[in-house]
Structure 1
Amino acid sequence: MQTAVMSKLFGEYSLDQACELTVESGYDAIELMGKAPHLGPETTKETATELRAHLDELGLDVVGLATYTGYYANREKDDDERHNELEALEHYCELAELLECGLIRHNPGGPPEHRATETDYARAVEWLRRAADRATPLQIGVEIHPHSIVETAATAVELFERIDRDNVVAIHDAGNMYTSNASYGPDSLSTLGEWLGHCHVKDELQIADPNAYGSYSVERADGETLFRSCLLGTGGTDQQPLFDALCDREYDGAITAECHLAATPTLDESAIASHERRAIEALWNGSTPHKSGRL
């Protein structure tokens, strides 16, 4: 298992600085935010080549490109816009190869599951199949995410089976699934099976006060629900059973810290990143001792 951090956590810094802070915070790898000031769609191949050299100096792997591309199910998009998304994906594929990264996050889009129709799913299937064909041999990572047509492990599997491409995989995110009121523990891993490609971890907490600092709203079938982001281990997302299950299946991929808690004068980005890494390691090492792959 590799520990990784989403560079968005260091979004106020340049990409070079974000990479350096990642190493200083003790991580093995980084997942790159696919927008400015990090790896936006305007990033050139020359910049990617220079970045790879810097990463080599730091001894840092790239485990994913978290792009903001796709969104094929979005009803306001027309087919010309969807073709543009495919072209943006192709550019990120070129960057990924230069960065020696095998996974690109590519989004199916919304609306949320409880409002999605068969037409929405059919549209996503058609265009994600095209995306997968263009991305081969790289993997397309579909993140299980609120406000999208994929909010649960079961829906992800149904979508992947319809797409029928081996290089489309799930990005499991327990924090997202907690806010969507979806199961995120061992059963979700069992449901995903071999479709599991990558893991994000973050902690969220359901709250009642709309005026609470950092509060945000998630549209669910049972109504609008309020949450706030927390440090890993201090919110409402019980991650230990998930980590136990990852250990049981001898998961050897990366686990990316994606804490959305805003930095403060007393808790800066480096302190947040360091806390998340220590929490990930504690969760992993708290799993069944006799299993292999422990830190």
Structure 2
Amino acid sequence: MKISLFSLLLSHLSLEEAIVLCKEIGYDGIELWGKEPHISADTPMSRVKQIRTLLDDNEIDLVAIGSYLGGFSTKSDMECQREFEQLEKYLDIMQVLKCNMIRVSPGGPNGFLAHKYHYEKSLYWMAKCADLAKKYNVRLVMEIHNGSLIETVDAAKAYVEQLNRDNVGLIHDAGNMYITDTDFGKESVDTLGNKIFHVHVKDEIRINDDSLPGAFHSQTIYGDEIFQQKFLGEGAVDHIPLLTALLENKYDGYLSIECHAAASGEERAKREFVAINKLIEAAKNKTNK
């Protein structure tokens, strides 16, 4: 497993500054935040070529683009078509960047609030996106996320099976899955298997006070709940079972740091790099016993 940084953490920096910082800290790769000033579907090709050179010069792998495309289940046909056209623009950019993975959202609402038509519309457009992406040799990844059609392990598995496209997989995100109260350890890895294309890493905790730094509300099966974003090891998300299972299943992709704890982006990037390496080492020790 290698470690990357989702550049959203450094959204206040230019991409040049973010990539250099990743290199200085020791990250193997970067997942690009799909908004300017980092990358978007409208980034000029001249700039795209500069980004590729910047990555090469700093010997940083481009893991994926964390776009905000999709959300098909609750959009109009015209809006869905625009999303599809934006994806095509991204796919052209990705050929120059030599990047083969992009995040696309199936949409919401929460699975327990969704209706049959939400799934039907989402699957229709995701299939179109997958078939287009395949022509470019690009994989689409959908993040297991609270508030979406695939917020649980079972829902995510069912969705990708029904979609039935070999270039579409999942982003395993234990932090999101903790919020949804779905398994994010060994069982989740065994169930999702080779459909785990990418992994996001962050920590959260349930709280009762939304005035605390990093606090936010989320609708869950239990109602309106409050959560706080934390540094790895300081919240309620135990990543050791996940990392151990990934090692046992010979996962060879990236762990992408996505910490939103109340601190500067630079501090989060540095602290989480140290923390995830300690967790990986602990998981290796557990695997070798």
TM-score class, shorter-chain normalisation, is over 0.9
Which residue, out of 120, 127, 130, partners 1:129? 127
Asked if 1:141 corresponds to 2:137, the answer is no
Shift of 1:48: 1.0
**Contact 1:247–1:284, Cα closer than 8 Å, also in 2:** no
Shift of 1:290: 8.6
**Contact 1:26–1:274, Cα closer than 8 Å, also in 2:** no
Q: Which has a greater percent of helix?
A: 2
Deviation sequence 1:205-248 (CA, Å, 0-9, x none) = 11011222221011011101100101111101011111110111
Task: Give 1:43-192 correspondences, 5 Å limit.
Answer: 43-74=43-74, 77-136=75-134, 137-192=137-192
TM-score by length of 1: 0.94
Quote the RMSD (CA, aligned, Å). 1.3
2:256 aligns with 256
Structure-1 separation of matches of 2:152 and 2:49? 37
Shift of 1:40: 2.2
For 1:285, the aligned partner's letter is E
Structure-2 separation of matches of 1:185 and 1:21? 31
Shift of 1:191: 1.0
Structure 1: runs of 5+ lacking an equivalent: none
2:271 aligns with 275
For 1:272, the aligned partner's letter is R
Deviates more, 1:202-211 or 1:89-98: 89-98
Deviates more, 1:49-58 or 1:89-98: 89-98
The 3-state SS of whatever aligns with 2:62 is: strand
For 1:19, the aligned partner's letter is I
For 2:126, the aligned partner's letter is L
**Contact 1:25–1:270, Cα closer than 8 Å, also in 2:** no
**Contact 1:34–1:67, Cα closer than 8 Å, also in 2:** yes
**Contact 2:214–2:260, Cα closer than 8 Å, also in 1:** no
Deviation sequence 1:192-212 (CA, Å, 0-9, x none) = 011110000000111011222
Structure-2 separation of matches of 1:291 and 1:95? 40
Structure-2 separation of matches of 1:213 and 1:230? 9
TM-score by length of 2: 0.96
The 3-state SS of whatever aligns with 1:114 is: coil
Structure-1 separation of matches of 2:60 and 2:157? 32
Task: Give 1:197-216 correspondences, 5 Å limit.
Answer: 197-216=197-216
Structure-1 separation of matches of 2:286 and 2:245? 13
1:30 aligns with 30
Structure 2: runs of 5+ lacking an equivalent: none
Deviation sequence 1:177-198 (CA, Å, 0-9, x none) = 0011111111011110111100
Structure-2 separation of matches of 1:288 and 1:280? 12
Structure-1 separation of matches of 2:172 and 2:78? 30
Moved over 4 A (4+): none
Q: Percent identity of the aligned residues?
A: 37
